[in-house]
Amino acid sequence: MVLGKKLARVCYLVVFCVMLPLATAAQSQAPPCGHAAGARVVRFDDAGKRVFVSAQLKEIATARTARSFFQSLQHTVEKCRPSWGKDWSVSVFSEATYAGYKDDPQLQEFVKDGRWSHAYVGEYDRTSQKLTLNPQDPKKMKSLQVDLP
């Protein structure tokens, strides 16, 4: 019985000594840019100071839900692109596959058949704090004021 307790203590000590450095290393690494609660960053366009994200329309459909969504994204921008300050914009797509500019060569097929326009559910301008829902559909287009701190 005593040998079993000693063996358990030695095993615990070995596991502790092996796992502690791994846990400490994991905590010291910054989370990757793109991970924000509620916001799935597909890519950053540094030249245009634009973030392309994947989200559903219902996540940004009201000023309240949009504020929560874009505040989370703002934290990501502040951390990953601090030089942008408050001068940035967001393009929101319902599927990451379509996230990009309509003149991007890899998206031309989707632009031609309308999938790109259908997937483009929102655009937010941080400077003016204006959100445009369904920016490619004049019948469904709607603007909201979404103030961020």
pLDDT value for 145: 98
Residue 38 CA, chain-centre distance (Å), reads: 7
Q: Can you tell me the distance from the alpha carbon of 80 to that of 6, in angstroms, rounded to the nearest whole number? A: 48
- Dump pLDDT digits (tens) for 3-41: 555 544 444 443 334 333 333 333 323 346 655 545 589
Q: Can you tell me the distance from the alpha carbon of 68 to that of 85, in angstroms, rounded to the nearest whole number? A: 19
pTM to 2 decimal places = 0.76
Element (H, E) at 75: helix 63-80
Domain boundaries, the chain: 37-145
- Dump pLDDT digits (tens) for 60-118: 999 999 999 999 999 999 999 999 999 999 999 999 999 999 999 999 999 999 999 99
Under DSSP, the state recorded for 86 is: T
Average pLDDT across the chain, whole number = 83
> Residue 1: pLDDT band by 50, 70, 90 thresholds?
low
pLDDT value for 32: 63
pLDDT value for 102: 96
Mean pLDDT of 119-142: 98
